[in-house]
């Protein structure tokens, strides 16, 4: 069985901004429940491994391990309408495979809503002095 994939940056960003989060020692999962207006069904998976996790060989190995674990863990949950983005950490390489499967299988149900982020408004930031003007004392 092959899971549907997230392919566009805006889909990853939507999961990061509007999704619920689940943290494990090896990864962080961002789960975004889909609205009824979206014309699709089923679960989609997106994987991210940044350069902090290692070189290209290690990142590809991390993605292969997570893809295999997700195929096992999410097999019974493919009917759920949500997007899952898995942000990998370097610990994926040393983690037990069965622990990865267990963490991924509970990520959808246990993910908590994220705390709302405050956007910086112009009035909260310190005003920058204009160029060419004398510094204020």
d(CA 32, CA 134): 50
**Structure confidence by residue, pLDDT tens digits, 85-134:** 999 999 999 999 999 999 998 887 787 666 655 555 555 556 666 676 66
Give the residues across from 18 on adjacent strands. Answer: none
With beta carbons less than 8 A apart as the criterion, state whether 113 and 76 touch: no
Name the pTM for this structure.
0.76
18-32: per-residue pLDDT in tens?
888 999 999 999 998
pLDDT digits (tens, 9 = 90+) for 18-70: 888 999 999 999 998 877 777 677 788 999 999 999 999 999 999 999 999 99
Q: Tokens at residue 137, please?
A: 């004392």
Is 5 a residue whose pLDDT tops 80? yes
Fold of 4-112: Ribosomal Protein S5; domain 2 (3.30.230)
């Amino acid at each position: 069985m092959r899971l549907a994939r997230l392919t566009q940056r805006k889909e990853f960003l939507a999961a990061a901004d509007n999704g619920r989060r689940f943290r494990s020692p090896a990864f962080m999962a961002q789960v975004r429940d889909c609205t009824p207006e979206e014309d699709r069904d089923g679960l989609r998976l997106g994987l991210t491994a940044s350069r902090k996790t290692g070189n290209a060989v290690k990142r590809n190995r991390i993605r292969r391990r997570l893809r295999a674990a997700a195929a096992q863990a999410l097999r019974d949950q493919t009917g759920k309408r949500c997007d899952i983005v898995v942000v990998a950490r370097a610990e994926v390489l040393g983690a037990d495979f069965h622990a990865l499967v267990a963490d991924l299988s509970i990520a959808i149900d246990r993910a908590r809503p994220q705390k709302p982020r405050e956007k910086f408004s112009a009035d909260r930031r310190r005003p920058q002095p204009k160029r060419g003007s004398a510094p204020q004392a």
